[in-house]
Chain A
Amino acid sequence: MAPAVILLLGWMLVPLTATLYFSFKKYLPLRGDSLENGLEWVGFQNYTRFVGSSSFWPSVQTTLIIVGSVLVITVILGVLLALLLDQPMWGQGIVRILIISPFFVMPTVSGLVWKNMFMDPINGILAHLFRFFGAEPLQWLSQASLQSIVLIVSWQWLPFATLILLTAIQSLDSEQLEASEMDGAPALSRFWHIILPHLGRAITVVILIQTIFLLSVFAEIFVTTAGAFGTKTLTYLIFQRVLESQNVGLGSAGGVYAIILANIVAIFLMRIVGKNLDR
């Protein structure tokens, strides 16, 4: 196992050490600070400044709202859709292909397509739809910006959740279901007592994998709102500090906070997953 583990360890530790180091320094490359000339030690100044900035807590909140809402939406809709797709029907193969497709679309494309062709307040499809029903078209990305981002990201991840849950439902022992059906158990209690517990593991996997990717949602915001209108996630805030305002020290302190946040989420998740995967 050595090479893979060592590579990953290096990949994790080297940049992490550098980030930690920069976070205690004043480092503004555009003002002539450079590694060669030595950087000024500023203690925890970057850390206090990053937390003190008015955009810090909102960005943590935005991150958690996006991750949480997308998880809830994709898991609930995913279970319902999987139940539907499990029923006998004509053309199931094609429906599966239709549903999995958004998963293959790169985030920059889905961001741009939704932003321009669907959410544009004048020519977007949704604007046409609103007008058709006599409603005033919404300025999606400014009036309901966070909801719009959640919508776009959920659209990308719903296929993943649906297909994993469908695979899990299909592996359910059908005899057990038939037996309960004969005993006259109503559909709802069958779902609640047999199907849902069976889906536990699959739901865990969906939550784990999606959280990993959702915590670092970037391109969807980059091409739609560019962080405006309350859609600035922690990732995006740090990106702006480091690359747009070229304040490496401050951005690195932010990076350390982001790592801490990710670790809190990770510990929480790993505990559930570790338990669930043992069975």
Chain B
Amino acid sequence: MARATTKTRKAVVTIAAWMIGLTIFFPILWTILTSFKTEGQAINDPPLFFFFDWTLENYAIVQERSNYMRFLWNSIIIAGGSTVLGIIIAVPAAWSMAFVPSKRTKDILLWMLSTKMLPAVGVLYPIYLMFIKLGLLDTRIGLVIVLMLINMPIIVWMLYTYFREIPAEILEAARMDGASLRSEILYVLTPMAIPGIASTLLLNFILAWNEAFWTLNLTAAKAAPLTAFIASYSSPEGLFFAKLSAASTMAIAPILILGWFSQKQLVRGLTFGAVK
């Protein structure tokens, strides 16, 4: 009897969870499906689900209209560069906060996080002017620097929470053996922190990839990443559902796939160490 009820219960839970999951996922699924339809089929009434003539022509047209590979490459360089640079700079900070904390450590951490609350738009024009003066406007290096800085607080915070889980005795032992600070960080701390660093890397790569304020405002043609590639479909091209869908699928596919494979590590990183 008890067995049967748990089975029924499990079935009910499964059906409910799958229905909700599919509802939440539906906009993405629909976009992917639509990208393989012709424009006519895309606005068919009633909507067509799986039984239509699958075609790749939208992808060809989108690629022809704007060079997808260049946007993709820009996205990879900008998101990757800012993340890697950010981690290199943040590791020493997170290290000292985790292992030689002072009274002000927590204040500094909170202050860092609070800088993220400063509205970007408040400093848009000064940055814009500086970029013109320094010749950084519409360059990849400019965006690497800006995105590195805006994600820095999150990187430091995440690394800090990971580092804090490393027992300090191990570092002391290394120090007793005469390891210098540099080799301590390089050979003792880093290998132990690899999982933490990896998930920090992933999360920040995703955040930088999807960042859509600075990337839209500081780029024009040369350094524009995928966020700008897709923004050019806002109107009136957005009315061509199949092409919009193809472009959208191309913009989100790389990160979606990366995210699916790494969701376990990501979730842990996202909790900022506040949830064990």
Footprint of B on A, CB under 8 Å? 1-5, 7-8, 11-12, 14-16, 18-19, 22, 35, 81, 84-85, 87-92, 94-110, 112-118, 123, 125, 128, 132, 155, 158-160, 163-164, 167-168, 171, 201-202, 204-205, 208-209, 211-212, 215-216, 218-219, 222-223, 234-235, 238-239, 242-243, 248, 251-252, 254-256, 258-259, 261-263, 265-266, 270, 273-274, 276-277
Chain B residues closer than 8 Å to A19, beta-carbon distance: 122-123, 125-126
Main secondary structure of the interface of A (DSSP, over half): helix
Q: What per-residue 1/0 map shows which CB atoms of B213-257 lie under 8 Å from chain A?
A: 100110000000011001101100011010011001001100110
Structural contact, B152 and A251, CB atoms closer than 8 A: no
> Which of A5, A101, A202, A251 contacts B108, CB < 8 Å?
A5
* A28 to B: closest C-beta gap in Å: 12
* Cα distance, A8 to B30, chains bound together (Å): 41
A117: contacting residue among B34, B119, B231, B270, CB under 8 A:
B34
Cβ 8 A contact of B10, one of A84, A89, A167, A239: A89
Provide the residues of chain A in CB contact with B117, threshold 8 Å: 211-212, 215, 262-263, 265-266
Chain B residues with CB under 8 Å of A160's CB are 270
Name the CB-closest residue of A to B263. Answer: A100
Extra A-B contacts (15), CB below 8 Å, given A15-B126, A88-B6, A117-B34: A1-B108, A7-B89, A8-B115, A19-B123, A84-B16, A89-B10, A89-B17, A108-B231, A171-B276, A234-B119, A238-B122, A242-B125, A258-B121, A259-B118, A276-B274
9 CB contacts below 8 A, A to B, read A15-B127, A18-B125, A19-B126, A117-B31, A117-B34, A123-B45, A163-B267, A205-B271, A251-B124
Considering the chains assembled together, what is the distance between the CA atoms of A15 and B149 in angstroms?
13
Known: A84-B20, A88-B10. A164 touches B244 (CB 8 A): no
User: Given the complex of chains A and B, what is the CA–CA distance between A218 and B129 in angstroms?
Assistant: 21
A-B contact count (CB 8 A): 284
Interface pick from B92-100, B165-173, B187-195: B92-100
A102 touching B28, Cβ below 8 Å? yes
Query: Chain A CB within 10 Å — which of B241, B248, B275 has the most?
Result: B275
Q: A45 vs B159: C-alpha distance in the bound complex, in angstroms?
A: 45
Q: Is the CB of A242 within 8 A of B124?
A: yes
Residues in B with CB closer than 8 Å to A99 are 20-21, 24-25
User: How far, in Å, is A100 (CB) from chain B's closest CB?
Assistant: 5
Ordered nearest first, which 5 A-B pairs have the shortest CB separation?
A255-B122, A18-B126, A15-B123, A219-B212, A4-B93
Given A14-B126, A167-B275, verify A106-B270 contact (CB < 8 Å): no
Minimal beta-carbon separation of A105 from chain B (angstroms): 5
Tell whether B135 is near chain A: CB-to-CB under 8 Å: no
Please determine whether B89 and A4 come into contact, CB atoms closer than 8 angstroms.
yes
Across the interface, do A90 and B213 meet the contact criterion of CB distance under 8 Å? no
Across-interface contacts of A238 in B (CB, < 8 A): 119, 121-122, 124
Main secondary structure of the interface of B (DSSP, over half): helix
In the complex the two chains form, what is the Cα distance from A110 to B9 in whole Å? 35
Interface residue B110 (Cβ < 8 Å from any Cβ of A): yes
Which residues of B from 108 to 157 have beta carbons under 8 Å from A?
108, 110, 112-127, 129-130, 149, 152-153, 156
Contact B113–A101 (Cβ < 8 Å): no
Min C-beta distance of A255 to chain B, whole Å: 3
- Identify which of A85, A167, A242 contacts B268 (C-beta below 8 A): A167
Nearest residue (CB) in B for A103 is B259
A245 CB, min distance to chain B CBs, angstroms = 12
A100 to B244, CA, bound (A): 23
A18: chain B residues at CB < 8 Å are: 123, 125-126, 129
CA distance A95 to B17 in the complex (A): 7
Q: Does B206 lie at the interface of the complex (its beta carbon under 8 Å from any beta carbon of A)?
A: yes
A106 touches B210 (CB 8 A): yes
A7 proximity list for chain B (CB < 8 A): 89, 149, 152
Q: Which residues of B contact A155 (CB under 8 A)?
A: 24, 27
Kindly state the separation between the CA atoms of A239 and B59 in the bound complex, as whole angstroms.
33
Taking the nearest CB of chain A, how far is it from the CB of B227, in angstroms? 5
Least CB separation from A235: chain B residue? B121
Q: Considering the complex, give the chain B residue whose CB is closest to the CB of A278.
A: B106
Looking at A35, A100, A115, A164, the one whose CB has the most chain B CB atoms below 10 A away is A100
Minimal Cβ-Cβ distance residue in A for B271: A164
- With A8-B112, A202-B275, A263-B117 known as contacts, the answer to whether A100 contacts B259 (CB < 8 A) is yes
Knowing A95-B21, A167-B268 are in contact, say whether A259-B119 is a contact too (CB < 8 A): yes
B18 contacts A125, C-beta separation under 8 Å = no
- Answer whether residue B178 sits at the interface, using C-beta atoms and an 8 A cutoff: no
Contacts of A1 in B (CB 8 A): 92-93, 96-97, 108
Instruction: State A242–B153 Cα separation when bound (angstroms).
Output: 27
Per the bound structure, the CA–CA distance linking A160 and B34 in Å amounts to 26
Residue of A nearest to B249 (CB): A109
Chain B contacts for A239, CB-based, 8 A = 121, 124
Name the one of A92, A107, A252 contacting B210, with C-beta atoms under 8 angstroms: A107
Are B14 and A89 in contact, CB atoms less than 8 angstroms apart? yes
Q: Which of B13, B43, B118 contacts A12 (CB 8 A)?
A: B118
CB-contact partner of A84 in B13, B113, B258, under 8 A: B13
